[in-house]
């Protein structure tokens, strides 16, 4: 039984990865996530695990692809513009059905942007920057404890569904220290002896490839992938509801920004306004159904993001009622403060909600 | 007396789908013979790449993963190291075109050599991008006509070709680098012995081993199979000399 300790998000992710049996890490430096690779370089070399200072993110993700084909637990970490470099191989890994955990500690974009925090990679993570029909599972932690919990979950889901999983953190979370408990990995091991490449000993040889020259086979392969995604969408949606039960105004937010929005909800509750927060923890699969169920009693949805409204389109897709949907956001830099959110929200609420 | 039998490491009922006279089939069979002789079929993981080489897994009866274009050495690095981390020493080799190895994937190839990654890379040098229809590639010779150098490769537009085996020999982590050809029986036997040496060096944990095979591409060269081999013998092996460029055991 461990206890709470003061942990930075980046280190928490690295420790959780080691704790749940990650034996392979490949990476290339980029702020604000470099500590993950630095921390693992010490620990993994100590234990003779697979660690490569790759020559680029392209090399890193391809090393991860190769390592994943052996059935090992594999992780790479990077940030925004450098995750862009990995997209080709993420698409391959989805078609190859290989489990890789990819940590993106988001910084500002587009292009090089800068090291300020941002949530600008929602689209990249959830709709993919790679080619073809595929999905990556995307998990969004809100605090350092969830960096640990969702790292475990990322490895578990990657192995369970044989699919890449993106842990979408942000610069603030990566760099921030707060008390968290390095709990034990709660998930079971998944048997992979029926597909991993470990030499064709006493069995037929195996091939892992995305190339398929027979169009019927390729069609069928993609249809099978989508059956898997259907199961993921049915069983793996995860979210937090805060004061949503009787809420007439629901804020939506993901990641560490949701914490500010929680305070905003508390403020409105103290003023007698029935406000709540809905926070998706899985960005893919997105909890469309749950949000629509909630929308029947809700007058206004206010989506708050540190980008120009990327999750907003999923909110709009979810809600089939007549509830009003508005947006508060800015693209990069210091997270929107409670006061800023309240100022903007007051105007929206005044317009649509007489009682304030 | 049996003079020839198909290697065991070739899948049953394999019909090679390469163009007539293409050396890819011969190269794959030669590798299969070496796998038989070293008895490593059940301990091998091959990495195929994008290009005509991708079809490796249709013919070779070993575990195999396809790599994105150019990244075979990085994928092989992951395979090798992941197994090593679990205490398994697996035999890992890549099978790549020259465009794959020395153009789009040059960084991954060279850094694997520099790290002394304990893998073997086999590179089929047919002096063009074969699968896409014979465009100018990193090894296209000066003056050579391709679909994107219709007046011949020239300095002004295209610059110079890479001598891959020489470049890889320069890397400290390389234990073995050689260039071979398949245009006659003598050279086929030599290719087999050279690949065998490269594979044995990996088994002895000596570092990155590399074999570049000068290979025919009759379709894109617009020559007959016989003329193609003649071209390799008389022209290409002058530009890309055959031989061992590095051997740590002899240095
Ligand atoms: C990233 C990417 N770019 C381009 C291609 C298209 N493509 C497929 S094979 C190939 C060239 C292969 O040439 P080489 O590596 O020399 O092998 P060969 O086919 O001649 O054996 C190209 C350009 C691709 N599949 N992926």
Q: Does residue A355 have a pLDDT over 60? A: no
Q: Does residue B139 have a pLDDT over 80? A: yes
Residues in chain B with CB shorter than 8 Å from the CB of A89 are: 68, 71
Q: Which residue has 């198909």 as its token pair?
A: B6
CATH H-level, domain B24-247: superfamily: Thiamin diphosphate (ThDP)-binding fold, Pyr/PP domains (3.40.50.970)
pLDDT category, A353, cuts 50, 70, 90?
low
Verify whether ligand 1 is closer than 6 Å to residue B118 (CB atom): no
**A89-108 burial code (b ≥16 CB/10 A, e <16):** bbbbbbbbbbbbbbbbbbbb
Quick check: B71 and A62 CB within 8 A?
yes
CB interface of A with B, residues 61-120, below 8 Å: 62-70, 72, 74, 88-89, 92, 96
Mean pLDDT, rounded, of chain A: 96
ipTM greater than cut 0.95? yes
The answer on A309 and A182 residing in a single domain is no
DSSP states of A74-93 as a string? Answer: EEEEE-HHHHHTTHHHHHHH
Verify cis geometry, omega within 30 degrees of 0, for the bond prior to A5: no
The answer on A260 and A218 residing in a single domain is no
A-chain residue closest to B104, CA distance = A58
Question: Is residue A195 one of the residues assigned to a domain?
Answer: no
Gap from CA of B126 to ligand 1 centroid (Å): 12
Residue B199's CB is within 10 A of a number of other CB atoms, namely 24
Domain containing A344: what range? 239-352
Rounded Cα gap, residues B186 and B182, in angstroms: 8
Which residue is closest in CA terms to ligand 1's atom 1? B69
From residue B163, give the alpha-carbon distance in Å to each of B177, B209, B239, B240: 12, 16, 9, 7
Residues in chain B with CB shorter than 8 Å from the CB of A54 are: 74, 111
**A272-304 burial code (b ≥16 CB/10 A, e <16):** ebbbbbbbbbbbbbbbbebbeebbeebbbbbbb
Rounded Cα gap, residues A143 and A204, in angstroms: 46
Question: Is residue A291 one of the residues assigned to a domain?
Answer: yes
* Structure token pair of residue B162: 């890479």
Kindly report, residue by residue over A305-316, the tens digit of the pLDDT: 999 999 999 999
CB interface of B with A, residues 80-99, below 8 Å: 80-86, 88, 90
Ligand 1, residue B139: give the atom nearest the CA. Answer: 16
Residue range B118-124: average pLDDT?
Answer: 98
> Where does residue B222 rank: exposed (0-12), middle (13-18), buried (19+ CB within 10 A)?
exposed
Kindly report, residue by residue over B59-94, the tens digit of the pLDDT: 999 999 999 999 999 999 999 999 999 999 999 999
What does residue A106 show for φ and ψ, rounded to 5 degrees? -65, 140
The answer on A78 and A222 residing in a single domain is yes
The answer on A264 and A145 residing in a single domain is no
Q: Does residue A354 have a pLDDT over 80? A: no
Gap from CA of B137 to ligand 1 centroid (Å): 10
C-beta separation of A121 from A80 below 8 A: yes
Rounded Cα gap, residues B89 and A257, in angstroms: 46
* B65 shares contact with chain A (CB less than 8 Å): yes
Kindly report, residue by residue over A97-113, the tens digit of the pLDDT: 999 999 999 999 999 99
Kindly report, residue by residue over B1-57, the tens digit of the pLDDT: 777 889 999 999 888 999 999 999 999 999 999 999 999 999 999 999 999 999 999
The answer on A180 and A94 residing in a single domain is yes
The answer on A250 and A138 residing in a single domain is no
Rounded Cα gap, residues B139 and B159, in angstroms: 11
Question: Is residue A282 one of the residues assigned to a domain?
Answer: yes
**A343-355 burial code (b ≥16 CB/10 A, e <16):** ebbeebbeeeeee
pTM of the model: 0.97
Q: Does residue A2 have a pLDDT over 80? A: no
Question: Is residue A201 one of the residues assigned to a domain?
Answer: no
Kindly report, residue by residue over B165-221, the tens digit of the pLDDT: 999 999 999 999 999 999 999 999 999 999 999 999 999 999 999 999 999 999 999
Q: Does residue B159 have a pLDDT over 90? A: yes
The closest alpha carbon to A192, from A206, A175, A171, A172, belongs to: A206
DSSP A118: B
Mutate-to-test residue for ligand 1 from B129, B164, B212, B214, highest number of ligand atoms within 8 A of CB: B129
Verify cis geometry, omega within 30 degrees of 0, for the bond prior to A32: yes
> Which residues touch B145 (CB under 8 Å, ≥6 apart)?
B151, B152
* Structure token pair of residue B76: 């092989």
The answer on A162 and A146 residing in a single domain is yes
The answer on A244 and A139 residing in a single domain is no
The beta strand positions in B161-207, using DSSP E, are 174-181
- Pick from B45, B47, B68: CB nearest A199: B45
* Structure token pair of residue B240: 């890309």
Gap from CA of B128 to ligand 1 centroid (Å): 10
The answer on A250 and A117 residing in a single domain is no
How many domains would you assign to chain A? 2
Gap from CA of A266 to ligand 1 centroid (Å): 58
- pLDDT above 90: percentage of residues in chain A: 96
Kindly report, residue by residue over A152-186, the tens digit of the pLDDT: 999 999 999 999 999 999 999 999 999 999 999 99
CA angle A109, A115, A119 (to 5 degrees): 50
Question: Is residue A202 one of the residues assigned to a domain?
Answer: no
DSSP states of B40-54 as a string? Answer: -GGGEEEEE-SSGGG
The answer on A287 and A181 residing in a single domain is no
The answer on A283 and A214 residing in a single domain is no
- Return the residue in B41, B48, B50, B81 with the most chain A beta carbons within 10 A, the one to mutate for interface testing: B81
CATH number at residue A44: 3.40.50.970
Question: Is residue A199 one of the residues assigned to a domain?
Answer: no
Residues in chain B: 251
Question: Is residue A347 one of the residues assigned to a domain?
Answer: yes
pLDDT at A356: 52
The answer on A144 and A96 residing in a single domain is yes
pLDDT at B3: 78
CB interface of B with A, residues 28-57, below 8 Å: 41-45, 47-48, 50, 54, 57
- Return the residue in B39, B44, B63 with the most chain A beta carbons within 10 A, the one to mutate for interface testing: B63
What is the three-class DSSP state of A305? Answer: strand
The secondary structure element, H or E, covering residue B245 is strand B243-247
pLDDT category, B140, cuts 50, 70, 90?
very high
Kindly report, residue by residue over A222-240, the tens digit of the pLDDT: 999 999 999 999 999 999 9
Q: Does residue A1 have a pLDDT over 70? A: no
pLDDT at B15: 87
């Amino acid at each position: 039984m461990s206890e709470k300790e003061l942990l930075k998000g980046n280190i928490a992710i690295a420790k959780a990865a080691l704790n749940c049996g990650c034996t392979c890490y490949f990476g290339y430096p980029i702020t604000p996530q470099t500590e993950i690779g630095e921390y693992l370089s010490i620990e993994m070399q100590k234990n003779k695990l697979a660690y490569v200072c790759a020559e680029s993110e392209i090399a890193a993700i391809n090393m991860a692809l190769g390592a994943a084909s052996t059935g090992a637990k594999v992780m790479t970490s990077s940030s925004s513009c450098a995750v862009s470099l990995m997209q080709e191989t993420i698409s391959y890994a989805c078609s190859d059905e290989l489990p890789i955990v990819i940590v993106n500690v988001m910084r500002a974009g587009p292009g090089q942007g800068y090291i300020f925090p941002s949530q600008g990679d929602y689209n990249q993570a959830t709709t993919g920057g790679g080619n073809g029909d595929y999905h990556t599972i995307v998990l969004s932690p809100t605090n350092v404890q969830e960096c640990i919990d969702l790292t475990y979950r990322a490895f578990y889901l990657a192995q369970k569904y044989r699919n890449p999983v993106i842990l979408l953190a942000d610069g603030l979370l990566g760099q921030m220290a707060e008390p968290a408990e390095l709990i034990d990995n709660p998930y079971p091991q998944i048997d992979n002896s029926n597909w991993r490449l470990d030499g064709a000993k006493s069995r037929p040889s195996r091939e892992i490839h995305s190339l398929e020259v027979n169009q019927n086979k390729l069609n069928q392969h993609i249809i099978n992938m989508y059956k898997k995604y259907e199961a993921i969408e049915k069983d793996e949606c995860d979210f937090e509801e805060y004061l949503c039960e009787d809420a007439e105004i629901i804020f939506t937010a993901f990641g560490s920004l949701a914490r500010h929005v929680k305070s905003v909800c508390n403020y409105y509750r103290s003023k007698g306004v029935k406000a709540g927060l809905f926070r998706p923890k899985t960005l893919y699969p997105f909890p469309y159904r749950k949000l629509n169920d909630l929308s029947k009693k809700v007058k206004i949805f206010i989506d708050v993001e540190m980008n120009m409204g990327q999750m907003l389109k999923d909110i709009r897709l979810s809600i089939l009622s007549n509830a009003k949907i508005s947006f508060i956001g800015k693209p990069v830099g210091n997270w929107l403060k409670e006061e800023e959110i309240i100022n903007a929200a007051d105007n929206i609420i005044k317009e649509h909600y007489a009682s304030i | 007396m049996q003079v020839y039998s198909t290697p065991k490491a070739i899948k049953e009922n394999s019909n090679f789908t390469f163009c007539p006279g293409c050396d890819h089939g011969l190269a794959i069979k030669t590798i299969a013979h070496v796998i038989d002789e070293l008895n490593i079929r059940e301990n091998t993981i091959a990495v195929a790449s994008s290009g005509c080489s991708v079809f490796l897994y249709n013919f070779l009866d070993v575990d195999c993963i396809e790599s994105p274009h150019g990244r075979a050495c990085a994928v092989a690095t992951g395979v090798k190291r992941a197994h090593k981390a679990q205490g398994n020493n697996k035999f890992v080799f890549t099978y790549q075109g020259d465009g794959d190895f020395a153009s789009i994937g040059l960084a991954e190839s060279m850094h694997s050599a520099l790290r002394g990654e304990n893998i073997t890379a086999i590179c089929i040098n047919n002096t063009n991008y074969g699968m896409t229809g014979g465009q100018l590639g990193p090894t296209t010779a000066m003056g050579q006509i391709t679909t994107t150098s219709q007046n011949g490769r020239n300095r002004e537009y295209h610059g110079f070709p890479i001598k891959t085996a020489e470049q890889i020999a320069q890397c400290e982590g390389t234990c073995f680098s050689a260039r071979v050809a398949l245009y006659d029986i003598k050279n086929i036997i030599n290719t087999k012995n050279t690949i065998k040496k490269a594979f044995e060096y990996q088994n002895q944990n000596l570092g990155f081993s590399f074999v570049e095979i000068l290979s025919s591409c009759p379709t894109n060269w617009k020559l007959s199979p016989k003329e193609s081999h003649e071209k390799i013998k008389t022209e290409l092996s002058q530009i890309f000399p055959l031989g061992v460029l590095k051997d740590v055991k002899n240095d």
